[in-house]
Amino acid sequence: MTRRTLIAALVLAFCLPGLALAQTTASLTILHTNDTHGHLQPFSYPSIVAQGSDIARLPEKRDIGGIARRATLAARIKAELAAKNIPVWLVDGGDYSDGTPFSTEYHGEADVAAMNAAGYTFGTLGNHEFNNPAAQVKKLIGLATFPVIVSNTVDRATRQPVGIPMRIEKVGAVRIGIFGLMTSEAATYPAGKDGIDVLDPIATARTMVKDLRSQADIVILISHCGENVDNRLAADVPGIDVIVGSHSHSRLPVGEFVWRSDDLREDSVNGTVIVQAFQWGGELGRLDLLFRKDKNGAWSVDRYRERLIPVGAGIPADATVAAIVDKYWQPIAAKYGQVVAQATADFSTRGDDEAPYNLVADAVRAAMGTEIEFENTGGVRAPLVAGPVTQADMVTMDPFGNTVMTFQMTGKQIRDILARNTPFVSGIRYRMVDGKVVEATVNGQPLDDARTYTGSTNSYFAGAYMKVIESKDTGRARLDVVTEYMKKQGTVTPTYDGRRVIIGSRREAR
């Protein structure tokens, strides 16, 4: 090469850096959401929450979220990075439905329509999509204009995949393989019982990674398996570079990193990046990735940066997405806008006291006239905030359609239930230390192991944790029972009375 040719090449590389670096580096930004559970509109958390909780760490708690605002934020980031020739994916980790009136009325279709309008690039399914019949799950996949990638679900009759098992995308010169996983828990949900089999996530991951590694340089997993399983996947299934997580509602402000080995490498992060953005779309996850090719031609993740961006009231709603949400809201607005009661204060958490659970348990026990009442952790899905409580708020708090069950149980059986499941209760006060019930009373009297007590609970708890106890289904939806109770009360006040104290190790029914 002559001196003049060398100078010309250097000038060209300086003026057009993309040409010089195209063979050795590439960038990708993944915007991600998970567990939005039908929260298409903005929402608020209580002002006072448990110290150190994920909600307490949120920079904004009131009037946050909403998919129309999220679409605006995503569009801003896409425009900013388009000027730098950096592609942006908008990815959802599943459980986009089942949690608000939108899900009750439209069974995921409103959520998919809004996600289509917001420009999602990829998504997967969550177990709460499986709260629909199998036919509705397949319909939701068909309605999505973005690929729904899930590798471990198959039609029971045909053994054909439900969803797209894998996909290869090009980012510059980098071939990126994408696969998706669903939690095994989904097998117990209606679609799982109705005809969709859920295969073992770990075994499926090993097969998928092996196949993808033969075709792709980088492997990304969209996982609806939860943080614990994601960490196991990262440790036990070599070859996954990034996991966009969901299911456990984990708030990971800077992500997590699982080392592939203890070797320090100057050309690779040498491990798996795991990200997750809590719940309900109050924040938008942003993962910036830089890929680099080594001297042997192998691509790897060279650098990454994760952050959670608040979706606050200062972000205007995207008009197109807002119109889609409004299209689905207006036909049901009158029904769900009805005021049920007035809340005198936020229903929040203080220690092991969670006021929303106490309200539900007290309401069901009062309606059934029983001595005790059990409610499982995870069965009450959202708090109430001070002010008017609408029917929409009630459905968001209790979206599942569980019915009320009644039963008779000995004191010893009650003690066993408390020890195994640490339920929320009414009529009972109990204290546990390191997994043992050290104190328990029923209506102020010591729990008598030999005596038989009358009780009530929801159908999920009875089916999951009281299989040996004969119970009777009243046929009354728990939501209706609690709503009627609150209407009669007119005004409801949060209760924090120390009825449930858990010290040390614990197992919770979810």
SS (H, E, C) 154-177: EECCCCCECCECEEEEEECCEEEE
Question: Do the domain assignments include residue 12?
Answer: no
Question: Do the domain assignments include residue 11?
Answer: no
Q: For residues 235 and 257, is the Cβ–Cβ distance under 8 A?
A: no
Residue 505 has a pLDDT of: 63
Closest alpha carbon to 447 in 428, 472, 426 = 428
User: Do both 289 and 359 map to the same domain?
Assistant: no
Residue 444 has a pLDDT of: 96
What is the side-by-side strand order in the sheet with 500-503? 445-446, 436-442, 428-433, 500-503
User: Do both 101 and 165 map to the same domain?
Assistant: yes
User: Do both 263 and 392 map to the same domain?
Assistant: no
Question: Do the domain assignments include residue 6?
Answer: no
How many domains in the chain? 2
Between the CA atoms of 5, 9, 15 and 16, what dihedral angle is there, to the nearest 10 degrees? 140
407, containing H or E segment: strand 403-410
Between the CA atoms of 296, 299, 302 and 304, what dihedral angle is there, to the nearest 10 degrees? 180
User: Do both 59 and 131 map to the same domain?
Assistant: yes
User: Do both 60 and 205 map to the same domain?
Assistant: yes
Assign residue 251 a region: left if phi > 0, alpha if psi is -120 to 50, beta otherwise?
A: beta
Residue 9 has a pLDDT of: 38
Dihedral pair phi/psi, residue 214, rounded to 5°: -80, -10
Residue 260 has a pLDDT of: 81
CA–CA separation, 180 and 205 (whole Å): 9
Question: Do the domain assignments include residue 5?
Answer: no
Question: Which residues have a Cβ under 8 Å from the Cβ of 475 and sit 6 or more positions away?
Answer: 403
Could you tell me the CATH number of the domain that includes residue 313? Answer: 3.60.21.10
User: Do both 149 and 200 map to the same domain?
Assistant: yes
CA–CA separation, 453 and 435 (whole Å): 23
User: Do both 205 and 345 map to the same domain?
Assistant: no
User: Do both 458 and 399 map to the same domain?
Assistant: yes
Length of the chain (residues): 510
Q: Which domain holds residue 406?
A: 338-503
Question: Do the domain assignments include residue 10?
Answer: no
Question: Do the domain assignments include residue 471?
Answer: yes
Between the CA atoms of 421, 422, 423 and 426, what dihedral angle is there, to the nearest 10 degrees? 140
User: Do both 269 and 348 map to the same domain?
Assistant: no
Dihedral pair phi/psi, residue 255, rounded to 5°: 75, 180
Question: Do the domain assignments include residue 14?
Answer: no
Residue 464 has a pLDDT of: 94
Instruction: Out of 283, 298, 327, pick the residue that ends a domain.
Output: 327
User: Do both 316 and 398 map to the same domain?
Assistant: no
Instruction: Out of 271, 302, 327, pick the residue that ends a domain.
Output: 327
User: Do both 142 and 263 map to the same domain?
Assistant: yes
Question: Do the domain assignments include residue 478?
Answer: yes
Could you tell me the CATH number of the domain that includes residue 343? Answer: 3.90.780.10
Report the DSSP beta bridge partners of residue 388.
Answer: 342
User: Do both 53 and 160 map to the same domain?
Assistant: yes
- pLDDT by position in tens, the chain (length 510): 444 443 333 333 334 344 344 479 999 999 999 999 999 999 999 988 888 999 999 999 999 999 999 999 999 999 999 999 999 999 999 999 999 999 999 999 999 999 999 999 999 999 999 999 999 999 999 999 999 999 999 999 999 999 999 999 999 999 999 999 999 999 999 999 999 999 999 999 999 999 999 999 999 999 999 999 999 999 999 999 999 999 999 999 999 999 986 666 665 668 999 999 999 999 999 999 999 999 999 999 999 999 999 999 999 999 999 999 999 999 999 999 999 999 999 999 998 999 999 999 999 999 999 999 999 999 999 999 999 999 999 999 999 999 999 999 999 999 999 999 999 999 999 999 999 999 999 999 999 999 999 999 999 999 999 999 999 999 999 999 999 999 999 999 999 999 999 998 654 433
Instruction: Out of 276, 302, 327, pick the residue that ends a domain.
Output: 327
